[in-house]
Amino acid sequence: MLTDTKKSKYAKVSSLPHNAMTWTKGLWADSVRVCAGETVPQLKKMFDSKEISHVIENFRICAKEVEGEHAGTVFGDGDFYKWMEAALYSAKRYDHEELLNQLEEYIDLIERAQQSDGYLSTKQIIGEMNSNGIARMGDVNDFEVYNFGHLFTTACLHHRITGSNRLLNIAVRTADYLERLYKDAAEKGQVQTAVCPSHYMGLVEMYRTTGNEKYLKLAKTAIDLRDSVEDGTDDNQDRIKLKDHDKIIGHAVRANYLYSGVADLYLETGNPDYEKMLDKVWNSLIKHKIYINGGCGALYNGVSPYGNFFIDQKVHQAYGYEYQLPNITAYNETCASVGLVMWAHRMFAIKKEAHYYDLLEKTMLNLNLAAISLDGRKYFYENMLRRTKELEYELVWPLTRTEYITSYCCPPNVARVIAESSEYAYSVSEDGLYIGMYGANEARIQLGNGWTFMIEQDTQYPYNGNIKLTIKPLEIEGEAKVNVRIPSWVEDGYIVDAQGIKHQLTGEDANTFIGVSIDNEKESIIEIMFDMEVRLTRAHPMVEENTNQVAVEKGPLLYCVESPDIDVASIDDIMLTPNQCFEEDTYKVLDREVLALETEVLVMKRKNTKQDDLYQKLDFQGFEKKKMRMIPYFAWDNRGVGEMKIWLPITFPYEKY
């Protein structure tokens, strides 16, 4: 969920109100439309189904409407709350009264399921009702506090959008229960680290929404108590004290949720220790452990690289060693990428530095959108960077998207981030507008100084770098600036400001903001042109799997090749050259138009098509040239199961030397 930092003392910017901006056309408008029309209803059926998820049935059992045992995942409650966020945004966006009424019915059910002391987690409530041995707070991996945290954030969003206190009152009772729980834990010294700690963000948001400082104090207490955990692990980021964190480690979702919560706490308290620690772990991520598609958490299972080597300390869905970024087995859980977006957004509120938005946009375009099929009905839990014809081992999750994933945390998480994408587009300060994500939209902007104007963004971004901003003043108070974000990949281009003066861009401007003053008396137009040449990107030499290979990027988009894109026995035989030329072409994947890149590549010829031996004599018979298409990575796995590859070998044709 987006955080509401308008009143946060140490926030340099804040987001627009939920209804201030609308995507009007293009990739984001299509994605939001499909999310509302297909994903939200499809997820609703999953949660409603007793046979599939059992989530609503669990609430009904707690409310004593039916009898039964808990079934499904222990974190199903929290996943349902995430779906409620996506549904609430979508229903409001498209005036879907029936869905809004259904949400109110769900709130009634949640209220009936809640216990008199405020406790609300269905597995444990049912366990106590049925006396089956399952009790509260018995197992940290039962995700009770995770469920609480998502209840808090959803309740705050519901209040912000509808003005109603109904779900917020439920959350208040649960937060008060948590306050008593932490007070007791602190007194007894029996502290557990909550896994996937969504409650840090949730408690700070409860403070922002209610104004009650006890929730801010509780968030601080919850984070401080991490330092009292005995026998902590890198998997949960509690082996060492929080202030000593200097590398990104362990379970990627847990890490990204933790640091998002700490960032929230900094935004309210300004504690410099939090800021120093956040800078260190962020830099560890960006310099050593993030994938080119914005994915994070490379490893499914392993042993912590930083703990005691004589005591195996398992890590799961985790950040591994520096530069340990495999492609076929890349885990990259979708929830981790959503957590990264939330973390980056909070870091931008703290720092107001363009590189945070650069990564946020890259992650949303290249991983969040890739995690869901173009028709909005199938999902990836893990997000690989290469798919082969067959594997001699089994990965944890399917190699293609599926409608229902046993661990169903990712689909509603990516649904809410797509539904809420409009709130990531702009940020405002006292006297300036900051452009975060580009795309055709209309928005009503009110700055802190009262300056109010309408802005219209006309563009085909992310496929094209030409952007036209039309600004119409409504209420005038002093001066204002539009701060144009220059993406990291820009090496050439220009901005024509409201006075018609042209400002040339160079690589020195990349990852900065350029402020453009706007006229406070009449309509202003700002023209932006980012040169969007196709570029070949190489990895650091320590990323061993990508040695002498390149990835193809255009603007913020990452491209890939799939089996339907070239007629070859194996896409492993494709090679690019350093001066590879590409032509752009509109291409349909399912019923969605994407910008494809077409080129002629070298394909290595072999006598022996079998490549079964672990080590083989090089069987090189020269090259043949073939036409190849590349599509945006977010559009892959929508044309059947085949090979997919991002990193392609690069060669210098021997006949030239």
Verify that 490 and 474 share a domain, yes or no.
yes
- Tally the domains of the chain: 2
Q: Same domain for 553 and 637?
A: yes
User: Per the domain annotation, does 551 fall within a domain?
Assistant: yes
Question: Which pLDDT does position 312 carry in this prediction?
Answer: 60
Q: Are 614 and 553 within one domain?
A: yes
Would 600 be classed as within a structural domain?
Answer: yes
Q: Is the residue at 338 inside a domain?
A: no
Give one DSSP letter per residue of 232-289, joined into a string.
Answer: --TTTT-SS-GGG--S--EEHHHHHHHHHHHHHHHHHH--HHHHHHHHHHHHHIIIII
- Both tokens assigned to 238: 């509690």
CB neighbours of residue 625 within 10 Å: 9
302 lies in a domain? no
pLDDT digits (tens, 9 = 90+) for 29-63: 999 999 999 999 999 999 999 999 999 999 999 99
Average pLDDT of each block of 10 consecutive residues along the chain (657 residues)? 78 94 98 98 96 96 97 95 97 96 98 97 95 85 92 97 97 96 80 84 97 96 89 87 94 96 97 97 97 95 67 79 95 96 97 98 98 97 92 85 89 97 94 96 91 95 98 80 97 93 96 90 92 97 96 98 94 94 96 96 83 84 93 97 96 63
Domain limit, last residue, from 530, 562, 586: 530
Give the Cβ contact number of residue 588 at 10 Å: 10
Whats the size of the chain, residue-wise? 657
Angle at 637 between CA 632 and CA 641, to 5 degrees: 140
Q: Do 640 and 548 belong together in one domain?
A: yes
Is 636 contained in some domain?
A: yes
User: Based on the domain organization, do 601 and 613 belong to the same domain?
Assistant: yes
Same domain, residue pair 550 and 640: yes
d(CA 649, CA 618): 15
Residue 82 lies in a domain: no
Q: Which amino acid is at 114?
A: Q
Owning domain of residue 545: 534-656
Please give the pLDDT value at position 279.
98
Residue 519 included in any domain: yes
Cα separations (Å) of 462 from 281, 336, 356, 557, 599? 29, 23, 18, 7, 20
Q: Given 530, 564, 591, which residue is the final one in a domain?
A: 530
pLDDT of residue 657: 39
Q: Which of 504, 530, 556 is the last residue of a domain?
A: 530
Q: 510 and 598 in one domain?
A: no
What CATH number does the domain containing 521 carry? Answer: 2.60.40
pLDDT in tens, 310-329: 556 778 889 989 999 999 99
Q: Which helix (H) or strand (E) holds 87?
A: helix 76-93
In-domain check, residue 614: yes
Q: What is the pLDDT of residue 489?
A: 98
Rounded CA separation 75/257 (Å): 15
